[in-house]
């Protein structure tokens, strides 16, 4: 598994899938509904800033994963503690995404199906994918992400007859504090979560192209999400903010000549694939991280138990979707900021400090 | 239900462990067993109806408390 390699293009596609992930069905910053597509650009800027800091860390320690960097910078004991924190972050990110998709399926299509009947097959597929390794995940992601991009672009033409420009107004009607808070919420979720890729960057076969690949993926994902949000607001209008899953409702509205109707299941299936990739990346990263934490030679055997832990945590993420929405609004920006900005920034600062001290001692 | 859970975990263990023993991956076997035990205990607690805290509720309480404190 150590010899696995992915290309920069595959990394870009993985970043797109991971960023689109679960945000596409349950956007954060829904309070800014009509301004969301514009706020997305502000968030993208912040997200790129976070990514730049994380990539600086990778540039200072080429060929090392985040967990290896922790041990170099903080020493074996504290390094492992920091890595454990990130393991929790990956676990919660994966379980959170899975919980959102299960809630979506339960409230829209499989209303009478027990959670476990949806969770178990999902986790089995995720575990199967992770056991095949990152190369297989990256290769299978390519057609899926192209299908998603195609679908989002096709949506522009599908909604031409129901898109109302007046629905986009009023714009810029939010106080600055609300704009900044919501943009921060989106910057940490989904863009900031890309800190997870620090565990996968050493697997890219052309390390010099990593920064461009990650930035391209984030910008493309940001543009796609903004476009989709723009269309959703134009179709649903102000009432869109009342829906828990506005994207799903937006696709339900499509009606072309009473022939092409009730198309929501096609995008639903498509977005589920993005969810699969996101959760697979979380589980795979956890397996790689756990293996490095305990100095193991094999990653594969850890995938099954880690998949089970994700399944179990999914049931303990939130008791109701209303609490999840409250969490997204009030707690997620702090939680995300801690993992996506503060910890990488601290590690980067310590890395510079240690580098400087070592140079002084050498001279 | 608990018996079913134990059987499932036992099945998974028997599926994975022999390969690790054959390859002499002892550390891998130890970590695998540890994670499986964690999963088993957690599953049994959930199946027995023990009320465990919800993750997002914990974070919400923590950050709301911190915000009030500041």
> Does residue A50 contact residue A340 with C-beta atoms inside 8 Å?
yes
pLDDT digits (tens, 9 = 90+) for A253-268: 888 888 888 888 888 8
Q: Which residues of chain B from 21 to 50 reach within 8 Å of chain A, CB to CB?
A: 23, 25, 27-29, 31-32, 35-36, 38-39, 42-43, 46
Q: What SS3 state is found at A258?
A: coil
The C-alpha angle with vertex A187 and arms to A273 and A59, in degrees rounded to 5, equals: 90
Nearest to A312 among B46, B62, B63 (CB): B46
For residue B27, give how far its alpha carbon lies from the nearest alpha carbon of chain A (Å): 6
Query: By C-alpha distance, which of A311, A334, A17 is closest to A190?
Result: A17
A182 part of a folded domain: yes
Report which DSSP code applies to A237: G
A33 located within any domain = yes
Residue A339 lies in a domain: yes
Q: How confident is the model at residue A363 (pLDDT cuts 50, 70, 90)?
A: low
Please answer yes or no on whether A92 and B23 come within 8 Å at the CB atom. no
**Higher confidence at residue A170 or residue A11?**
A11
Closest among A23, A362, A49, A90 to A226, alpha carbons compared = A23
- pLDDT category of residue A242 using cuts at 50, 70 and 90: confident
List pLDDT tens digits, range A221-239. 999 999 999 999 999 988 8
Domain containing A262: what range?
Answer: 10-344
Q: How far apart are CA A328 and CA A336, in angstroms?
A: 10
- Read off the pLDDT of residues B17-52 as tens digits, 9 standing for 90 and up: 999 999 999 999 999 999 999 999 999 999 999 999
Residues with Cβ within 8 Å of A360's Cβ and at least 6 positions away in sequence, in order, are none
Instruction: Decide if A323 and B46 are in contact by the 8 Å CB cutoff.
Output: no
Question: Tell me, what CATH number does A125's domain have?
Answer: 1.20.1740.10
Q: Shortest Cα distance from B67 to chain A (angstroms)? A: 10
Residue A353, preceding peptide bond in cis (omega within 30° of 0): no
Mean pLDDT of A184-193: 92
Q: Is B18 on the interface with A (CB under 8 A)?
A: no
For chain B, the domains span 2-69
What's the pLDDT score for residue A29?
Answer: 82
Residue A2: per-residue pLDDT? 66
Question: What is the rounded CA–CA span in Å between residue A163 and residue A222?
Answer: 21
In tens, the pLDDT along A202-218 reads 999 999 999 999 999 99
pLDDT exceeds cutoff 80 at A360: no
pLDDT band at A320 (very low <50, low <70, confident <90, very high): very high
Q: What is the mean pLDDT of chain A?
A: 92
pLDDT of residue A315: 93
Question: Domains in chain A: how many in total?
Answer: 1
Q: Pick from A301, A304, A313: which is nearest to B55 by CB? A: A313
**Is the model's pLDDT at A3 over the cut of 90?**
no
First to last CA, chain B: 46
pLDDT attached to residue A73: 94
- Residue A266's pLDDT is 84
Tell me whether residue A35 is in a domain. yes
């Amino acid at each position: 598994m150590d010899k696995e390699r992915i290309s920069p293009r595959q990394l870009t596609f993985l970043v797109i899938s991971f960023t689109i992930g679960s945000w596409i069905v349950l956007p954060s910053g829904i309070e800014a509904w009509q301004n969301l597509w514009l706020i997305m650009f502000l968030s993208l800027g912040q997200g790129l800033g976070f990514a730049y800091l994380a990539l600086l860390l990778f540039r200072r320690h080429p060929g090392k994963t985040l967990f290896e960097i922790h041990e170099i910078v903080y020493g074996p004991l504290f390094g492992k503690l920091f890595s454990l924190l990130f393991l929790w972050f990956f676990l919660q990110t994966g379980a959170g995404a899975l919980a959102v998709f299960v809630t979506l399926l339960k409230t829209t299509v499989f209303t009478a199906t027990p959670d476990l009947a949806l969770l178990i097959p999902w986790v089995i597929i995720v575990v199967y994918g992770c056991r095949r390794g990152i190369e297989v995940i990256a290769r299978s992601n390519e057609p899926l992400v192209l299908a998603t991009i195609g679908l989002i672009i096709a949506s522009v033409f599908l909604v031409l007859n129901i898109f109302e420009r007046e629905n986009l107004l009023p714009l810029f009607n939010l106080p600055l504090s609300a704009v900044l808070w919501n943009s921060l919420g989106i910057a940490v979720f989904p863009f900031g979560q890309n800190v997870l890729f620090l565990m996968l960057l050493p697997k890219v076969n052309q390390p010099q192209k990593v920064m461009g690949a990650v930035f391209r993926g984030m910008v493309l994902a940001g543009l796609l999400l903004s476009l989709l949000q723009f269309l959703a607001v134009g179709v649903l209008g102000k009432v869109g903010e009342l829906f828990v899953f506005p994207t799903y409702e937006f696709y339900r509205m499509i009606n072309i000549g009473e022939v092409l109707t009730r198309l929501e299941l096609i995008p639903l299936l498509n977005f589920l694939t993005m969810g699969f990739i996101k959760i697979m990346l979380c589980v795979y990263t956890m397996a790689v991280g756990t293996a490095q934490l305990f100095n193991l030679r094999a990653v594969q055997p850890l995938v099954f138990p880690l998949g089970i832990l994700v399944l179990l945590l999914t049931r303990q993420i939130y008791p109701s979707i209303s609490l999840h929405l409250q969490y997204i609004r009030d707690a997620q920006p702090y939680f995300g900021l801690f993992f996506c900005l503060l910890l990488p920034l601290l590690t980067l600062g310590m890395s510079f400090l240690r580098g400087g001290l070592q140079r002084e001692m050498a001279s | 239900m608990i018996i079913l859970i134990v059987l499932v975990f036992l099945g998974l263990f028997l599926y994975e462990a022999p390969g690790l023993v054959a390859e002499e991956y002892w550390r891998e076997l130890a970590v695998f067993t540890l994670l499986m035990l964690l999963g088993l205990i957690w599953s049994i607690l959930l199946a027995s109806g023990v009320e465990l805290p919800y993750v997002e509720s914990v974070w919400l309480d923590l950050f709301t408390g911190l915000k009030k404190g500041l």
